[in-house]
């Protein structure tokens, strides 16, 4: 009887070990995209090219500074706690994020970065590519070997963004 109980315990602990190791491996295999970064971007949005810099944090703060085209140069957008601050040449305007059009360039970028920070992406077929569901459609992300964004393609918003010179914030 004792031998039977010991065999049963061995089988139980073996199965438990396999299950726990398997679950841990799956969770560890998901590559985490860096959500705390700063860098430059060049975006093609509905036939317009927009260049600028971007700073994003996992805590939900996103700052976009536009450097071109000339008509938008100097425009800064900061998203924080559901509020948007637009500024240019010393003039500032504050609004709730809900008032921005949902498929505007800054709204689409903001939504994508918030979803990345939340971990709502899945791996695609190639090693550094990920799929991200957004309200305007699916987004294809590519990252470099340091898990920093390289590009973002959002077909539903006719938006393609290339990132360069990105660095992780805080080291």
Each residue's pLDDT tens digit, 130-156:
999 999 999 999 999 999 999 999 988
Domain count for the chain:
2
Each residue's pLDDT tens digit, 67-122:
999 999 999 999 998 899 999 999 999 988 877 787 888 889 999 999 999 999 99
Backbone dihedral region for residue 141 (phi beyond 0: left; psi -120 to 50: alpha; all else: beta): beta
Q: Are 34 and 148 in contact (CB under 8 A)?
A: yes
What pLDDT does 14 receive?
Answer: 54
Q: What is the spatial order of strands in the sheet that 76-80 belongs to? A: 91-96, 83-88, 76-80, 62-68, 48-56, 37-45, 159-168, 149-154, 137-143, 129-134, 122-123
Which DSSP helix (H) or strand (E) runs through 88? strand 83-88
* 25 lies in the same domain as 38: no
* 144 lies in the same domain as 158: yes
Each residue's pLDDT tens digit, 5-63:
445 444 444 544 545 554 443 333 457 899 999 999 999 999 999 999 999 998 889 99
* 14 lies in the same domain as 52: no
Residue 146's domain spans which residues?
A: 33-168
The better pLDDT of the pair 14, 129 is held by: 129
DSSP annotation of 96 reads E
* 20 lies in the same domain as 5: yes
* 23 lies in the same domain as 80: no
Q: Are 118 and 56 in contact (CB under 8 A)?
A: no
Q: What angle do CA 88, 46, 126 make, to 5 degrees?
A: 110
* 1 lies in the same domain as 65: no
């Amino acid at each position: 009887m004792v031998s039977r109980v010991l065999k049963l315990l061995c089988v139980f602990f073996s199965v438990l070990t396999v299950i726990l190791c398997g679950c841990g491996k799956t969770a560890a295999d998901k590559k985490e995209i860096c959500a705390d970064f700063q860098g430059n971007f060049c975006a093609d949005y509905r036939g317009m090219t927009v260049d600028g810099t971007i700073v994003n944090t996992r805590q939900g703060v996103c700052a976009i500074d536009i450097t071109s085209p000339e008509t938008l140069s100097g425009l800064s957008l900061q998203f924080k706690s559901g509020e948007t601050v637009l500024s240019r040449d010393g003039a500032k305007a504050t609004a709730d994020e809900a008032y921005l059009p949902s498929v505007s360039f800054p709204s689409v970028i903001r939504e994508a970065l918030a979803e990345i920070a939340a971990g709502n992406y899945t791996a695609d077929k190639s090693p550094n590519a990920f799929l991200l569901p957004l309200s305007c459609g699916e987004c294809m992300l590519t990252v470099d070997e340091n898990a920093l964004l390289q590009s973002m393609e959002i077909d539903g918003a006719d938006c393609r963004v290339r990132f360069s010179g990105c660095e992780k914030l805080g080291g």
